[in-house]
Structure 1
Amino acid sequence: MPARTDHAKLRGRSWRVLKDEFRKRCREVNARCWICDQQINYQAKFTDPASFEADHVKPVSTHPQLALIMGNLRPSHQSCNRGRGARPIDGAWTRADWS
């Protein structure tokens, strides 16, 4: 069987379980987007730009070993996460309480 690609890990059961647990924890404390510091709509469908999306602080493309580590995740809006892409973090992208 061929080795799974780094991003393929994010389509597997382990990722779904981790993402669901992380979302649950974020929703319980009403965590805000770590990128823009605005409220996240936890009831929104995944297609909504204001919906919750788990952001990998250190991108999977450069740090595949951290893909399934909860400590590498931060709550974000879908639009903020996708807008940031795999760019490295700098002060402009992080809130003080998440860095």
Structure 2
Amino acid sequence: MATDRERGYRWKKLSEAVVRREKGKYDGKVFCHLCRREIDLSLKSGPWRLEIDHIIPRSQSPALEMILENLATSCRTCNRLRGDRSVDECVGTPQLHEQFVILSQSNADSWEARKRAEAIAPKAPKTKLWSETAVSTSPVVKRYVRDVDYGRFSPITGTERPETLPFRPHINPAWAPWGDETPYDEWTGQRRPGIEWPPGSGDYGL
């Protein structure tokens, strides 16, 4: 298992690779994949500074946390505002995108106003950001059921599976062994059957 230091180094390199990829696409510019604002890479703090976002949230697919294709550039405000929701839930339609951009700007304005107030009166009570006070709209967690969604034994490992498994959109439970796995085996480089890649393609490598 990788140490925190090794994971931090790998994350730094992945982040740099994401920025290089985006610069190559947009003539040296980097945009937030949610609100589509241009990101000023010189900013080291504030609501519009660069952050790296997971397209499929880590809470849904921990195995894709360190996969380059699952990473995108985002401004801090949008990344925080999105939370664990899917991209489609936030900006999947023109109407949702317009609403999300408005909320993003409102949240950034609140953040900047709070910082100005702290500079004037450091001991004044702090107000919470919109995203910190918003009511959670997280959907109910779905689960796969043994002998309904998948067989008792894994067709790959041969081990007996638990009675339920957490729902993961990128996993075909009839074929994939239980547990979160990346699309490709890190040792052999071979495609693992039962894991959808690219996400949303319907290709489970079978």
TM-score class, shorter: 0.7 to 0.9
Look up the equivalent residue of 1:70 and give its one-letter code: L
1:12 — aligned with what?
8
2:82 and 2:90 in contact (8 A); partners too:
no
Deviation at 1:41, TM superposition (A): 1.0
- Give the distance between the partners of 1:55 and 1:24, measured in 2 at CA: 15
1:77 CA drift (Å): 0.4
Taking structure 1 as the reference length, the TM-score comes to 0.74
Gaps of 5+ in 2: 95-206
Q: Is the 8 A contact 1:23 1:52 kept in 2?
A: no
CA drift at 1:57:
0.7
Aligned residues between the structures: 90
Q: Which has the higher contact order (CA 8 A, sep 6+)?
A: 1
Matched residue, 1:22: 18
CA contact (8 A) 1:37 1:95 kept: no
Larger Rg: 2
C-alpha change, 1:39 and 1:72, in structure 2 (3 Å) is same
**Partners of 1:95 and 1:16 in 2: CA distance:** 32
The SS at the match of 1:55 is strand
| 2:70 equivalent to 1:72 | yes
TM score, norm. by length of structure 2: 0.38
Counterpart of 2:203 in structure 1 is none
More displaced stretch, 23-32 vs 67-76: 23-32
Report the Cα offset of residue 27 of structure 1: 3.8
Letter in 2 for 1:44: L
Shift, 1:70, TM fit: 0.9
SS in 2 for 1:87: coil
Q: Tell me what 1:81 maps to.
A: 79
Percent identical across equivalent pairs?
31
* Cα distance change of structure 1 residues 16 and 70 upon mapping to structure 2, 3 Å threshold: same
Tell me the C-alpha RMSD between the 2 structures.
Answer: 2.7
